Structure 1
Amino acid sequence: MPQSPIRPTDDDARTLARSLIAAATFGALAVNDANSGFPAVSRIAIGTTPGGEIATLVSGLAAHTGALLADPRAGLLLGEPGEKGDPLTHPRLSLRILADQIGRNETRFAALRAHWLATHPKSKLYIDLPDFTFFILRPQSGALNGGFGRAWQLSAHDLAPAS
């Protein structure tokens, strides 16, 4: 019987996944298009909340924003290939997420806005436009590929910010 390529989840896998999340400045977001039923993929800005949760700031004019509001289930791919070598040998994290919109009237909005501006200063040009909104992207599970022969399945608990 062939051996499973999935390794037992350990602290090294959790650390690698959390480092990919912390380092991400953008990611590929896959949403469910309400009109066609087909998946749609967009590149979005990625950051974190002050507590380390995954966040994004998106325009309400973007198709992916409407899709998240209609169906908060989505996929998120983080991790970029290095400058050299086969792109498939570099770590990447594929997440199943639930998107939670943060309204401007919520108490946590101000802290998230200030934190986002500190880490994404160019967003000052558009962050206060009325169509822009934050979402917290809450991982439900994930698949971590750490390079050839290094694969793990991760739970929501494995992906939670380190306390």
Structure 2
Amino acid sequence: MLQHRILNEEEICKVYEEYLKNDFPPEERKPLSMVLSLKKQGIYCCYGLYDNEEFVAYAFFAKPETMDYLLLDYLAVCKNHRSKRYGSRFLKLLQKELKEYQGILFEVESGADAKTEKEKLICERRIAFYLRNGLIKTKINAKLFGVNMILLY
């Protein structure tokens, strides 16, 4: 049975060390101490997705105090569970869970900075995944930490 829940501090530490460090490059990772501090301040939330008690995916969100929107920081399906529709199902569960917000903002690499064709393809596939799952591409583009990003909603 598929279920999701908010992660506690111990679970966040475990996810960060065992998964997030492998799923995201160092330049894209907030320090764990910052994640925990933001959570304690009530402006960050972390969710885990479980299939029959087995951890399969996670999502971390920033909750700016002055906005009714969430900003997705990290979303990933555990490596051995990819291509099994967990990402799509997780997004649907999160949409229901977070319906009190006006929306969720997703900063996604545009692929314009890709150094190889493989990197560009990964960016294109990621964008296509989000669009297939109901996200809307805005007209907002930004350069964050030297990387061209597009904003999805």
Same fold, judged at TM 0.5 (above): no
Whichever of the two has the greater Rg, that structure is 1
Q: Return the TM-score normalized by structure 2.
A: 0.28
| Higher helix fraction (1 or 2) | 2
